[in-house]
Structure 1
């Protein structure tokens, strides 16, 4: 794979901060690309043997993150954000994971092999793995999970192009107890097999969480508790108080081992706490109430990365874009001129300074550094309040007043951001108002295309390959307002649709990259969303917490923390000194 590395000024500035450790972010060389060129996905170096230290077993790790999940813990229904992923990886194992070479590696699976045209995949599972309730992991269990995911309104769109039978089940063939095949088919049609070279990547995230089929069936029969997940993971659920704390204890029968054959996990217990406000979360770390926080709050990161009392594991590649999500079916937001005027009204450099102490890099698209299709210059309109005012005036002369409700989560930082945005929009003649709600309510409003949804403060689109964004951007998930749809903006664009399809089936890296870049430029041209900055995440912890970025893979190497969904880290091999 030909790799071109770009090094952002911000990443360089952060690299020498006291006691900061960058896991999966430092480039393997200092070659710098022409800023007008695009980048392939950036490969990051794995931990070295020299970094290995003697592990210690036992102890409790106290973790704090930003939000509660928006639904029960069944893989097909949980509304999973970054902090959800960190918790879910405690009790679920995925079928595949991403390594430091951005390779798709089998995890619960022993192998994941395609036929010659990538339309049928053969999956072989590892032997001897059991769920927390004693049920064996086998082909039947995984097929059951795949069918649950495929039939869910929430996760099903990610599997649209797997072939389905008349009952909506994925077309599979069981070869033996541990082996089965999966067939592709455009829009589920078995008669239209679709090459899908990056399909295994899908199973490194929520679509690959494998739960006990016995538990899933009990939940469906109303004899099981959907809030008490049962997986194969390194920890078992001990207790769960929604919105407050989840406690998980070591799975004594866990199948995973370290390179020396020692059983994992090392920790006895992990307490996951919910602290929604980033500033309050930082205070909990500094006061000793917790050992570790996950944060994307720029003010917290600018402070904590300079604080020698803590270690920060930065995740600044393949990361999400903080942006303003626009509900494109709203009459005024159907207008490209209005959308671009709203973008030009915002001095994003000043916004980043106000909200994040200048810690983040200004974004121009939902393609961050390291992602396939990233472009340093994609033509997104720059700050020009005079042009924005003129565009709004011209639109109102023809169509009447422009009003926009800006909705965001209820934290101190997001309120500062919202007030900046609303003031800037009012200054160009827009009647803008602010509303703050809890994060799960914000997500529900987006999924349902609620009437109150006009413009949201949002964060999404992390990952490595553009195919990961298919279900967010395809017209196939742009449901009517008031119904469930993962294309939250309700965006329908022929250029984007054509290139999403190309990217899904392309077997050539160059062809896939060109499709991703075309999508990037189309977003900039149409102002379908307003990119603000590329989110950086810090996993910040006390110095006695060790071994981050060293979650061992069964066949050698390590899983890359944050790959595919930044803001979380594997805790399987983490320990306390």
Structure 2
């Protein structure tokens, strides 16, 4: 069965404690940007994923690649691992997902052979491929998948929130597993495209225990874990018994060495000097430099422009941002074009107004028009209304200034972004304190702690962030705006009856027109109440040695096109199908 999300793509493109670490995976905190405030090189052009290099010649066996990623991950065991874009490059090499997205916007079986819902979408039955084994030789069975889910639903698992709707999982027969849900979810298969749907060896997990398994992972993927030196390198080698080889899924390479190199300029220079064969970036200014290098023939450049975008999230349960007038004022006060220029993205990416990009059927012109435009005069009026209100929520006397703390990581481009917001908001009379925090603290502040904050309201006012991802709109928007005490990924703490009503529509129908209308209603609600301030789409890119083939043209078992670099939020690919040209 093909489960369709109605997400179109350009040609060639492609949860708080317990769930807290998954925040790294589902909402990476750093806004997109680059180290060069002046932007990219003179030759920078808007990213067109349709222009990605096509593979040349037939697949070749052999060879080794060294891949530079933007950061390290805390480990590789589903339920413990919190991979963002760099980590998912490793995860998709070691593990296979049960389901995966296609370039046409559908979700189809991958490690599963098929899946089917019942009439009201409260149960989903998956049939597994026959003869699949884990890297330790143990068999993939329905019982193993059911045991996996039991582990992932434990309170200590960072996937407990993601899988909270799963009431039970049963092995119907050796290769058939049924997920019974607590409530309807017409988009359930899309949840199984990442760590929640990556089967792992129960023999390895039981023998080593969670922490050791997190450092010595065993999946069914095209590559076998070989070694890991934390913060230096992780090595995988070809799986000689891979189930997908006969289906054209590789692996073609003998070995891949993944190296975390957090500094953007160092990662790019490592590529240009030949120290690595491929480098990943989600910074527009670095993409601009890579475009110049590609134009000179030094590298080949693969890009992806999807739903993930640079934003500022606002804590709508914390004064003064609990008042919509203040949020609207902050939105009207910021010029997104100038913010993009600060981030080095001018000419490469464009301003955003909503969760879906213009090439998605869920994009809405009405939402784009409703989102607050740059208007400092209107911003000043709204802010003054709040300042003069004798019952203002921050407890200050009427007439006193509004104060806001803006948090961001100590990346140079993000520091400049924070300073730009400070200037825009100070211009309308807001007193802004910029606070630089490391990424773990940044995420923890947004997540909150049940020990000090049972409602998970978070300890922040305004955070730079990345928002939205690839996937079905129900899953994306449910995570972002579900009930605050129950949904760890609702970082803004914004809820409403309108959101709940329209999320219910998305959960219970696959009718395309009804789903688009529901997403538009949600978008209009968010444009008016602005819990999220949008900047621009995040460009994901890989620069590679020209000999590296098929980075963004990988396929599914049935021959459908994959999503290129669009796995998860973007910036990850299926390395099993990559080869080196002779």
Q: Normalising by the residue count of structure 2, what TM-score does the alignment of the two structures yield?
A: 0.83
| 1:538 aligned counterpart, secondary structure | strand
Query: Highest relative contact order (Cα 8 Å, sep 6+), 1 or 2?
Result: 2
| 1:332 aligned counterpart, secondary structure | coil
For residues 108 and 467 of structure 2, the distance between their equivalents in structure 1, rounded to whole angstroms, comes to 24
For residues 19 and 268 of structure 1, the distance between their equivalents in structure 2, rounded to whole angstroms, comes to 36
Displacement, 1:65? 2.1
Displacement, 1:155? 2.0
Matches within 5 A, 1:245-324: 245-257=233-245, 264-307=250-293, 308=295, 309-317=298-306, 319-324=307-312
Displacement, 1:20? 11
Aligned pair in 2 of structure 1 residues 92, 434: CA closer, same or farther (>3 Å)?
Answer: same
Match of 1:43 in 2: none
- The counterpart of 1:376, out of the listed 341, 345, 365, is 365
Matches within 5 A, 1:333-352: 333-352=321-340
Matches within 5 A, 1:55-454: 55-69=59-73, 71-152=74-155, 154-162=158-166, 164=167, 170=168, 172-186=169-183, 194=184, 196-220=185-209, 224-257=212-245, 264-307=250-293, 308=295, 309-317=298-306, 319-358=307-346, 359-378=348-367, 379-398=370-389, 399=392, 400=396, 401-448=401-448, 452-454=459-461
Aligned pair in 2 of structure 1 residues 396, 244: CA closer, same or farther (>3 Å)?
Answer: farther
| 1:517 aligned counterpart, secondary structure | helix
| 2:359 aligned counterpart, secondary structure | coil
Match of 1:523 in 2: 526
Alpha-carbon contact 2:478-2:503 (below 8 Å) kept: no
Displacement, 1:302? 1.8
For residues 262 and 429 of structure 2, the distance between their equivalents in structure 1, rounded to whole angstroms, comes to 33
Aligned pair in 2 of structure 1 residues 277, 507: CA closer, same or farther (>3 Å)?
Answer: same
Match of 2:575 in 1: 571
1:493-514 C-alpha deviation (Å, 9 max, x unpaired)? 2211211121011131111111
| 1:499 aligned counterpart, secondary structure | helix
**Uncovered stretches (5+) of structure 1, i.e. residues with no partner:** 9-13, 27-45, 165-169, 187-193
Alpha-carbon contact 2:75-2:81 (below 8 Å) kept: yes
Match of 1:35 in 2: none
Alpha-carbon contact 2:8-2:104 (below 8 Å) kept: no
For residues 18 and 412 of structure 1, the distance between their equivalents in structure 2, rounded to whole angstroms, comes to 21
| 2:108 aligned counterpart, secondary structure | strand
- Which ranges of 4 or more aligned residues in structure 1 deviate by more than 4 Å? 1-8, 17-23, 219-222, 449-452
Aligned pair in 2 of structure 1 residues 274, 529: CA closer, same or farther (>3 Å)?
Answer: same
Alpha-carbon contact 1:20-1:313 (below 8 Å) kept: no
Aligned residue pairs: how many? 525
Displacement, 1:58? 2.1
Alpha-carbon contact 2:81-2:214 (below 8 Å) kept: no
For residues 199 and 8 of structure 2, the distance between their equivalents in structure 1, rounded to whole angstroms, comes to 35
For residues 343 and 219 of structure 1, the distance between their equivalents in structure 2, rounded to whole angstroms, comes to 50
Aligned pair in 2 of structure 1 residues 524, 413: CA closer, same or farther (>3 Å)?
Answer: same
Matches within 5 A, 1:438-517: 438-448=438-448, 452-476=459-483, 478-479=484-485, 485-517=488-520
1:386-445 C-alpha deviation (Å, 9 max, x unpaired)? 222232233223343322221112222212211111222222221212222332332222
| 2:463 aligned counterpart, secondary structure | strand
Aligned pair in 2 of structure 1 residues 429, 221: CA closer, same or farther (>3 Å)?
Answer: closer
Displacement, 1:221? 6.8
For residues 431 and 466 of structure 2, the distance between their equivalents in structure 1, rounded to whole angstroms, comes to 24
Alpha-carbon contact 1:549-1:558 (below 8 Å) kept: no
Displacement, 1:528? 0.9
| 1:535 aligned counterpart, secondary structure | strand
| 1:356 aligned counterpart, secondary structure | coil
For residues 421 and 63 of structure 1, the distance between their equivalents in structure 2, rounded to whole angstroms, comes to 35
Alpha-carbon contact 1:21-1:313 (below 8 Å) kept: no
For residues 340 and 388 of structure 1, the distance between their equivalents in structure 2, rounded to whole angstroms, comes to 7
Match of 2:22 in 1: none
Aligned pair in 2 of structure 1 residues 235, 518: CA closer, same or farther (>3 Å)?
Answer: same
Q: CA RMSD in A?
A: 3.0
| 2:80 aligned counterpart, secondary structure | coil
